[in-house]
Amino acid sequence: ELGPYRHFMQKEIHEQPRAIGDTVEGILDAGGFDAALFGKDAAQVLNDVESVQILACGTSYYAGLTARYWIEELAGLPCAVDIASEYRYRSVVANPKQLIVTISQSGETLDTMEALKYAKAQGQAASDESRTLSICNVPESAIPRASRLVFYTRAGAEIGVASTKAFTTQLVALFALAVALGKLRGRVDDAREAALLDDLRHLPGSVQHALNLEPQVASWAEKFAPRQHALFLGRGTHYPIALEGALKLKEISYIHAEGYPAGELKHGPLALVDTQMPVVVIAPNDALLEKVKSNIQEVRARGGEMFVFADADSSFSESDGVHVIRTPRHVGILSPIVHAIPVQLLAYHVALARGTDVDKPRNLAKSVTVE
Ligand code: F6R
């Protein structure tokens, strides 16, 4: 079943061009970013939505954090993203016109399910009229069954405990949701939609290109393996990818890692930086690149060793203490999906170097059906 791979996680990382391609194909087959992707009466449900509330746990929560940038930009809607176990115990302010979006690979995560029930009980009408949408990888699981609208990602069964292909296909689904909402709200016209569809069509190829970087990423692993801590930095849509990179690393290699928005460095975490702290930076050529570069200077000045994922256009050069891997040429709005790949590969190869149980990290379960 593993084929040429050593672990399910590695296999699932490499399946991503296929998993993303299948998920994209479903969108193309439906003729584009139509509300109908999310269910029969979706246009009616999504039409007068006033805001979006995303609920999820772990890696699925980071997919939600990424989606917020797209929903604000493409749909012009306010979007809140909450960790399900926090939301469900808070006095939330109800709005019946808020779209509740849950994201769950398994569809069985207890906190996400309970947060969905809580959201419905607060502001939503009877459940057959609720504005609830679930993005899920397992058909007929509990969370999609409790939701009015559903999008099934086509990642296929994910066996490794660490989520990889489920994450990137969730991102594709959330991107489609942002564009569909943008169309309904008259913010995405036909020309823009065609351009965004084109971006999506090229995505599996860019992801494959990122996978081809595996030998280079693996060559960094030995530098991380003996370390106790690592910092991951990004800005904008790449900030949630920094969070995801840190989670993957801590989860499977047991190295303590933190993800930070690069602009927050000087508000605290810069105090941690010394020669023993490897710092991973996700720095493709986007609108925030110059800001990221000045953040990098701050780290270098404190002796931190930098590991930069930069694309062909972000004009970084290797120097003493600065290692650079070139990711595919900037792929625009879908860039966070492409940059999820190298951080997954990094975590995987560091875990291999440390000899941990990659597919079954200690203390963790694939499906968290308890509180
Ligand atoms: C991390 C990971 C977990 C899950 C989280 C939510 O690699 O896999 O953080 O993302 O437990 O699980 P689902 O998506 O099944 O609700």
Rounded to two decimals, what is the model's pTM? 0.97
Tens digits of residue pLDDT in 327-339: 988 789 999 999 9
CB of residue 368 inside a 6 A radius of ligand 1: yes
126, pLDDT greater than 70: no
Query: What gap in Å lies between CA 257 and CA 245, rounded to an integer?
Result: 8
Q: Give pLDDT, residue 116.
A: 96
Phi first, then psi: give them for residue 56, nearest 5 degrees.
Answer: -170, 175
Q: Give pLDDT, residue 213.
A: 97
Which run of H or E residues covers position 222?
helix 214-224
Q: Which distant-in-sequence residues (6+ apart) come within 8 Å of 8 by Cβ?
A: 2, 159, 160, 359
Q: Would you place residue 297 in the very low, low, confident or very high pLDDT band (cuts 50, 70, 90)?
A: confident
The burial class, CB within 10 Å (0-12 / 13-18 / 19+), for 315 is exposed
Q: Which value does ipTM take for this structure?
A: 0.99
Tens digits of residue pLDDT in 177-220: 999 999 999 999 999 999 999 999 999 999 999 999 999 999 99
Query: What gap in Å lies between CA 235 and CA 130, rounded to an integer?
Result: 34
Note the helical H segments in 225-288.
Answer: 239-253
Distance 358 CA to ligand 1 centre (A): 15
CB of residue 141 inside a 6 A radius of ligand 1: no
Q: Give pLDDT, residue 52.
A: 98
Q: Would you place residue 236 in the very low, low, confident or very high pLDDT band (cuts 50, 70, 90)?
A: very high
Mean pLDDT of the chain: 94
Pocket test for ligand 1, best of 106, 108, 141 (most atoms within 8 A of CB): 106
Query: What gap in Å lies between CA 64 and CA 82, rounded to an integer?
Result: 8
352, pLDDT greater than 80: yes
Instruction: Please name the residue whose Cα sits nearest to atom 9 of ligand 1.
Output: 58
CB of residue 245 inside a 6 A radius of ligand 1: no
| Cβ atoms within 10 Å, residue 267 | 10
Pocket test for ligand 1, best of 110, 368, 371 (most atoms within 8 A of CB): 368
